[in-house]
Structure 1
Amino acid sequence: MLWYRAARFRRKIDWEEPTAYTLLCVSVPKNNERTPQAAEQMFAAMHGIFRSSASEQPHVSFEVVSKAHAINFYAYVPTDLRDFVSSQIFAQYPTVEIKEIASDADYTQLGEDKHLAATELDLKKPTAFPIKTFQNFEVDPLSSITGVLGSVSEQEEVWVQILIKPIDDDWQDLGKSEIKKLKEPFKSLGLWQLAKAELKTLIFGLAKHTIEGPPGEEKKKEEKKKDDKDTPESAAIKAIEEKITKLGFATNIRILAASTDEYSARAKLEQVVGAFKQFNTINLNAFVAKDITSDREAHQLFTSRAFGESNMIFNITELASIYHYPSLTVATPTIAWAGSKKGEPPANLPIEGTIPSDDLTVFGQTNFRSEVKRFGIKKKDRRLHMYIIGKTGTGKSTLMENMIIDDITEGRGMAVVDPHGSLIQHVLEFIPENRVQDVVYFNPADHEHPIGFNLLENVDPEQKNIVASGVVGIMEKIFGEVSWGPRLEYILRNVILALLEYPNSTFMGIMRILTDNAYRRMVVNGVKDPVIRDFFINEFEKYEPKFRTEAIAPIQNKVGQFLSASTIRNIVGQPKSTIDIRRIMDEGKILLADLSIGKIGEDNSALLGSMLITKIQLAAMGRVNVAEDERRDFYLYVDEFQNFATESFATILSEARKYRLNL
């Protein structure tokens, strides 16, 4: 018996030549305000896939699926028509998201433990008679269907497939034929039926004449006009005439329910079929379900979406009533709504392929309307600097990582200052073989191979005040407002300026010049600046011991704290730097500074990072004697900018651009 029903279910399937098809998932935003009229226009445009040859005519399947507590909407389309169908959906529903589903992720895969019940819908009357359309509903008819689908349990699933194929206007002759029958009902009757009909009319006419008397001619015309207007036949004629004025589609409607037992599957199927009865009308047309089959061979129909020989022809209004995308009036909670609204990329967005790769840094991609385009920022815009703001976890470091990788790939010079270390570890994985020799990896936590970094080394006389301001700014940030004061800044600035004029000075000299009288005199003897000499000879040397101790104690406290750590001392205590920042910039090398707070501490990370940024600033300003068009662009990335923000950053933002240092 089951085999017989399955055979009936499949017997009229039009097994077409194999055609490549694509499954699209259409997600609608919850605030969608488009009415079923939008779907009507969509189906009208879909008629454009009509082919004069029946053997070449493709079809499209619009589907609603409830599975795993989620209702999704799909479109199964010929691959060569995917863009056309997508464009028509977007034309009427601009805010939807369309995603292509891989063939191995098709929802029609059904577990062996599932029992199924499947059926097809048919029409009770000839297809020329229309069903009830959305204009005659007070609420969205989709709500009834999604309401049933929304009640599906975790173990159940329901599939509704509406396959449509555009047809030519010859189908309208079916409507004209039905209209003719309604207007001339007796011509379709036999002689005996005709005699009975005439006799019945005569008897009712005599009875009415006896009771009411002979009507006047005017009254006869009015009554006849009223009777013609109010009869079911006249209403049907009007409905059919309206239906055949619009484009038509041959249609298959298939429904499958699956559950852990056959009874539940059949019960759920009957509920879905019942939801379609809302389109039934007494005098026009109505949906009826064909035989229900539980044979798993019927599952093949839903997987293949093969188009069957159809007796149902719907116009675009009827199709829009049966299938349209939900709006905010559909309150079914399990509908898989689209996420946040996606905006269309601006017309002047720098797209990869439209701009030379050496002039574009690619860091992202758009997926508006499923069209993926990689974009970035132009070189001239990067010279204006970038400041990336966002709360934790929103992708600031990821954005920088993408830009860094693009710079590395394109052979650009760049430096990364990372207080976490994770960013640099990710970047190291993307260093191509041809750029391995360009990498300078600065890792203060490497005790066995400490890199020399001396901010006071070989400073140009014109830049001494900049260096001193940079160091003072670093210390002020680390000291904080509580410990900082004008006297402390005054002493520290003169100490730095004095050490800058003494050969082979390092940060170690800051502590020594304050406490070692002999060393201080030796340094001061080499100072040529009269103001600095006067400070040490006529002011600092004349401080009372107690006053001097109080004045230099804060400096000793903070600077001593840094220098007491062997990690920092081994780096800043070397007179000769092993990192040539100017060479790195001019030759387009890669400097990666791993200043992980977890490895060297927060204060040490802030100190080294600020010193490194100041050194990079000085190297950039040293390009003043190089023609501007010959200065090679160098890109400085600073993660967690606030950890290293000093007044030097203000200088970089205002002046470094002309030296091709881009922050």
Structure 2
Amino acid sequence: MGLLGDSSADFQAAQINEQHFQDASETPGTLLRITPYKQNEGIQSGARLLQAIHDVTTERKRLFSTKNVSDHHSFELWFDEGRVKFFMHAATDDAADKYTTRVENAYDNSDVHEVDDGDGFPPVGADDYVAAAELDIERHHFYPIRHHDGEGFEHDPYSEITSEMQSTEETRVVVQAVFRPEPKDWAEDDGSSMIGSGVSVDDVAQSLRDDEVEGWFDPYTTEASKKDKDAAKIVEQQRGKYAFNTNLRIIAISPDEYEAESRCEGVAGMFTRYYNSKTEQGFEANPVGEGRLSSVIESAQQREWTDHEMILTIDELAGAAHIPNDEINVANIDWKNTQRGSRVPADSLQSDKD
């Protein structure tokens, strides 16, 4: 995997002495705000939603190969104006219409509406401090990270992530997952060859099962460990699963240098806990150096996607990008308190003001 940030750097906030404002009308594509009903199925519903929006478009590149030209979209968590909010970004109007319907189907009683005024991204003032990180994976993407259908989570990891995001009213934090669907045969070949002779999940699994010869002067054979054999089975299960090629960014903005640093490092640290001990795979957090902060903000505003070879199956991505439920028991979440069609009392509020 190529490094996205500077893995040797500490999490340091800096004043970039630039203003970055994006009006909703200037956002490419369509930004959708989701106000979820708090009684939903959380990660499981997230997996169903990703399954429903996995639409791959390809075009023929050469005689024996095709090129993935699918649009990329994003899921975003914002801590802004003192609350945690949920957004999806669709590349086209047609995708926005489809996403609206499919989000409402996956998350019963939740509201989805287009953001057509206000901010298209949390603003960055000239006096603000900014800290950012980009997430990579530690090993090849054939090794899965921890997810709800593997080793599983004891509880929704968003409990810690949304808690770490929360700060002062003036602080803004964004977690952005930009993803593009991969063809279903993504695990058969890593794309290194035009005619399909690259590494596949079978090759990786077999290498884990193979005995190893150790020693130069008195060589001996060491049998593959049970852990490696178990990992081989998990890797093989990647074949045929739907997946997305993903970019994950974390950006913290605050007039307080300490808050920007702490929120970015804290949220990034929570993502590194998506560690699968059987495959020894997890997220690696790479802090962004001061010289790249402006470009990372611009990339986030434009919802840019680049191929970092971080391919996550639906189950893996659902753990990192989903709408939680009231299991997380965290204050200041932008919940919808009533079911669709319910009468709202005159003195009630639309969002939970815990």
**TM exceeds 0.5?**
yes
Report the counterpart of residue 18 of structure 2 in structure 1.
none
Spell out, residue by residue over 1:328-367, the C-alpha distance to the aligned partner (whole angstroms, 9 max, x if none).
Answer: 21111110111422229xxxxxxxxxxxxxxxxxxxxxxx
2:140 partner amino acid: P
2:119, 2:274 → 1: CA distance? 33
How many angstroms does 1:288 deviate by? 0.8
| Equivalent residues in 2 for 1:416-455, closer than 5 Å | none
Q: 1:282 to 1:84 in 2, by over 3 A?
A: same
1:327, 1:392 → 2: CA distance? 25
Report the counterpart of residue 62 of structure 2 in structure 1.
none
2:40–2:107 contact (8 Å) kept in structure 1: no
Q: 1:343 to 1:180 in 2, by over 3 A?
A: same
- Higher CA-based Rg: 1
How many angstroms does 1:39 deviate by? 1.3
How many angstroms does 1:318 deviate by? 0.6
2:252, 2:173 → 1: CA distance? 4
Aligned to 1:41, the other structure's residue is in SS state helix
1:282, 1:184 → 2: CA distance? 20
2:183 partner amino acid: D
- 2:317 corresponds, among 311, 316, 319, to 319
Report the counterpart of residue 168 of structure 1 in structure 2.
183
How many angstroms does 1:196 deviate by? 4.2
Report the counterpart of residue 146 of structure 1 in structure 2.
162
1:334, 1:96 → 2: CA distance? 17
Q: 1:301 to 1:320 in 2, by over 3 A?
A: same
How many angstroms does 1:185 deviate by? 5.5
Report the counterpart of residue 119 of structure 2 in structure 1.
105
Quick check: 1:259 aligned with 2:254?
Answer: yes
How many angstroms does 1:195 deviate by? 4.8
Length, aligned pairs only: 299
How many angstroms does 1:62 deviate by? 0.3
1:239, 1:105 → 2: CA distance? 43
Report the counterpart of residue 62 of structure 1 in structure 2.
75
Aligned to 1:112, the other structure's residue is in SS state coil
Q: TM-score, normalised by structure 2?
A: 0.77
Aligned to 2:122, the other structure's residue is in SS state coil
2:33–2:88 contact (8 Å) kept in structure 1: yes
Spell out, residue by residue over 1:259-289, the C-alpha distance to the aligned partner (whole angstroms, 9 max, x if none).
Answer: 1144431222110111112211334201112
Q: 1:83 to 1:181 in 2, by over 3 A?
A: same
2:185 partner amino acid: D
The ranges of structure 1 where at least 4 consecutive aligned residues each deviate by more than 4 angstroms after the TM superposition are 193-198, 391-394
Q: 1:392 to 1:262 in 2, by over 3 A?
A: closer
Spell out, residue by residue over 1:67-92, the C-alpha distance to the aligned partner (whole angstroms, 9 max, x if none).
Answer: 12100010011222111111221221
How many angstroms does 1:109 deviate by? 2.6
How many angstroms does 1:45 deviate by? 1.2
How many angstroms does 1:19 deviate by? 10
Quick check: 1:33 aligned with 2:40?
Answer: yes
Greater percentage in strand: 2
1:127 partner amino acid: H
1:76, 1:392 → 2: CA distance? 32
Q: Percent identity?
A: 25
- 2:29 corresponds, among 21, 35, 55, to 21
Q: Could you tell me which runs of 5 or more consecutive residues in structure 1 were left unpaired when the two chains were aligned.
A: 6-17, 187-192, 203-226, 345-390, 395-663
Report the counterpart of residue 290 of structure 1 in structure 2.
286
2:156 partner amino acid: D
Spell out, residue by residue over 1:479-537, the C-alpha distance to the aligned partner (whole angstroms, 9 max, x if none).
Answer: xxxxxxxxxxxxxxxxxxxxxxxxxxxxxxxxxxxxxxxxxxxxxxxxxxxxxxxxxxx
2:137 partner amino acid: L
Report the counterpart of residue 51 of structure 2 in structure 1.
44
How many angstroms does 1:148 deviate by? 0.9
How many angstroms does 1:238 deviate by? 1.5
Quick check: 1:336 aligned with 2:334?
Answer: yes
Quick check: 1:84 aligned with 2:84?
Answer: no
CA-atom RMSD in angstroms: 2.8
Quick check: 1:179 aligned with 2:205?
Answer: yes
1:108–1:302 contact (8 Å) kept in structure 2: no
1:142–1:323 contact (8 Å) kept in structure 2: no
Report the counterpart of residue 308 of structure 1 in structure 2.
306
Aligned to 1:333, the other structure's residue is in SS state coil
How many angstroms does 1:41 deviate by? 1.4
1:134–1:141 contact (8 Å) kept in structure 2: no
2:144, 2:302 → 1: CA distance? 29
Aligned to 1:88, the other structure's residue is in SS state helix
Report the counterpart of residue 263 of structure 2 in structure 1.
268
2:269–2:285 contact (8 Å) kept in structure 1: no
Aligned to 1:340, the other structure's residue is in SS state coil
How many angstroms does 1:197 deviate by? 10
How many angstroms does 1:393 deviate by? 9.8
2:74, 2:315 → 1: CA distance? 17
1:64, 1:393 → 2: CA distance? 28
How many angstroms does 1:392 deviate by? 9.4
2:347, 2:253 → 1: CA distance? 41
1:141 partner amino acid: P
- 1:155 corresponds, among 146, 165, 170, to 170
Spell out, residue by residue over 1:124-178, the C-alpha distance to the aligned partner (whole angstroms, 9 max, x if none).
Answer: 111110111124112112211112123x112211100001100113321242231
2:86 partner amino acid: F
1:26–1:75 contact (8 Å) kept in structure 2: yes
2:81 partner amino acid: A
1:39–1:324 contact (8 Å) kept in structure 2: yes
Quick check: 1:134 aligned with 2:148?
Answer: yes
